[in-house]
């Protein structure tokens, strides 16, 4: 099994979405383009196992198109309002200690945003953690390990 291919926003990602939408929905070409553009804009990056073949005909028109675009736009707005690079977790820990970092993390209210923060800051967080406080504690512990590793490498 292949590791997959990482896609970044652009023509290739939009082609990926376009092919899946065309294959799975009865939308017309204009709606497909609009939805694939919205999805491409909403996704930062993704790992795909295999690229779909472009399908020339849309699926049978058995289901009326759903108002998917509104839902996608709402998710995009939430993601757009959160900046995972707002502060450096490593610097916050080094300057303000464990409690200072935890205080900064309390400003991040959703589990999704905490996970995005951890990923952006290169801090591994166990996917099985569900409670927001547990995710915050895992981020602090991970940043402490990174800081300790840096100090050990510098000595």
| Residue 27 belongs to domain spanning | 5-81
**Final residue before a domain boundary, out of 81, 107, 142:** 81
CA distance 137 to 121: 15
**Final residue before a domain boundary, out of 50, 81, 112:** 81
Each residue's pLDDT, cut to its tens digit, for the chain (155 residues) gives 457 788 888 888 888 888 888 888 888 889 889 988 888 888 888 888 877 765 333 444 434 444 433 334 344 444 457 888 889 999 999 999 999 999 999 999 999 999 999 999 999 999 999 999 999 999 999 999 999 998 899 98
Residue with tokens 């909403």: 42
Same domain, 24 and 68: yes
Same domain, 93 and 51: no
Q: How many domains does the chain have?
A: 2
Residue with tokens 């065309």: 22
Q: What are phi and psi of 115, to 5 degrees?
A: -65, -40
């Amino acid at each position: 099994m292949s590791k997959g291919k990482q896609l970044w926003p652009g023509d290739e990602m939009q082609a990926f979405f376009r092919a899946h939408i065309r294959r799975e929905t009865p939308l017309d070409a204009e709606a497909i383009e609009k939805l694939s553009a919205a999805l491409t804009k909403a996704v930062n990056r993704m790992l795909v196992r295999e690229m779909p073949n472009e399908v020339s005909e849309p699926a049978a028109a058995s289901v009326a198109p759903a108002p998917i675009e509104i839902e996608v736009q709402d998710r995009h707005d939430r993601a757009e309002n959160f900046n995972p690079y707002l502060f450096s977790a490593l610097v916050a820990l080094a300057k303000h200690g464990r409690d200072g970092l935890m205080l900064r993390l309390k400003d991040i209210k959703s589990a999704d945003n905490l996970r995005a923060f951890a990923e952006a800051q290169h801090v591994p967080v166990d996917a099985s953690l569900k409670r927001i406080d547990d995710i915050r504690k895992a981020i602090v512990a991970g940043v402490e390990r990174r800081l300790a590793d840096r100090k050990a490498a510098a000595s």
